[in-house]
């Protein structure tokens, strides 16, 4: 429950930083970068799981191709 709350809070803080960077013309690019990284933080475990599944599927496909030779 706490992890979910922290993920939502991180996402919202990221949006606030990004909106601040968009609406303030003289804001530095670092604020936007921090905003994007905070928004992406809750998605990192999902991205890692997708990448792992993709790598496993590629390894399985490659091993099946080698067996047919």
Q: How many helices and strands (H and E) does the chain possess? A: 3, 0
Give the model's pLDDT for residue 69: 53
Model pLDDT for residues 13-55, shown as the tens digit of each residue: 777 777 776 676 555 666 666 666 666 766 667 667 777 777 7
Q: What is this structure's pTM?
A: 0.40
14 or 61, which is more confident: 14
Burial class from Cβ neighbours inside 10 Å (0-12, 13-18, 19+) for residue 36 reads middle
Cα 64 to Cα 9, 58, 60, 69, distances in angstroms = 44, 10, 6, 9
Please tell me the distance from the alpha carbon of residue 38 to that of residue 34, in angstroms, as a whole number. Answer: 6
């Amino acid at each position: 429950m706490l992890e979910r709350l922290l993920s939502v809070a991180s996402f919202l803080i990221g949006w606030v930083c990004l909106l601040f960077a968009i609406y303030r013309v003289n804001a530095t690019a670092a604020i936007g970068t921090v905003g994007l990284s905070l928004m992406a933080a809750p998605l990192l475990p999902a991205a890692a799981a997708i990448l792992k599944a993709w790598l496993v599927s590629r390894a399985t496909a490659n091993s099946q191709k080698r067996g047919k030779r």
